[in-house]
Amino acid sequence: VHFPIALLTASVAVDLIALIKNQVEWHRFAYALLVAGLLSSSAAVITGTEAALSYRSKPEVADLIQQHEDFGSIVFIVFMATTLGRLPLFLQRSGGWPLVMWIVVAVGGCVLLWWTSYYGGELVYVHGVGVTGVGVSPDL
């Protein structure tokens, strides 16, 4: 789960630095980070959904798992749309306002990503989901 957080955040950071420094070619590197982040987030969504199955019957964490899953799905959709929306710009080596628009969308996606990460951290570090045995949690 740390790969999508790092890669997607780094993608947005590189894009923003490229805009500020007017380094057009850096956007290509940012796009590569975006694709890598999207691929790693698909693995995180699949494995996270599987890992949470045995905890869904626990009322202490069921709602939190659902919130985390809902936010994770939204984040995945936002970054999928961003990746696909930027593909023509990447292939044509163009930029301008369409690129800036997709960067703004990605910044919003990062805010959602960080919020999703907060829920995921609470599930793991507070409730022990995926770390302790089912039903065994430090605060239960």
Give the 3-state secondary structure of the chain: CHHHHHHHHHHHHHHHHHHHHCCCCHHHHHHHHHHHHHHHHHHHHHHHHHHHHHHCCCHHHHHHHHHHHHHHHHHHHHHHHHHHHHHHHHHHCCCCHHHHHHHHHHHHHHHHHHHHHHHHHHHHHHCCCCCCCCCCCCCC
- Confidence check: pLDDT of 30 > 60: yes
Q: What pLDDT was estimated at residue 54?
A: 84
pLDDT for 139: 52
* 49-72: average pLDDT: 89
Q: Is the pTM of this model over 0.95?
A: no
Tell me how far the alpha carbon of residue 132 is from its chain's centroid.
Answer: 24
Confidence of residue 69 (pLDDT cuts 50, 70, 90): very high
pLDDT at 27: 94
pLDDT score of 36: 98
The pLDDT value recorded for residue 8 is 98
Q: Residue 138 above 90 pLDDT?
A: no
Can you tell me the distance from the alpha carbon of 28 to that of 36, in angstroms, rounded to the nearest whole number?
Answer: 13
What is the pLDDT of the chain when averaged over all its residues?
90
Indicate the pLDDT class of residue 92, thresholds 50, 70 and 90.
Answer: confident
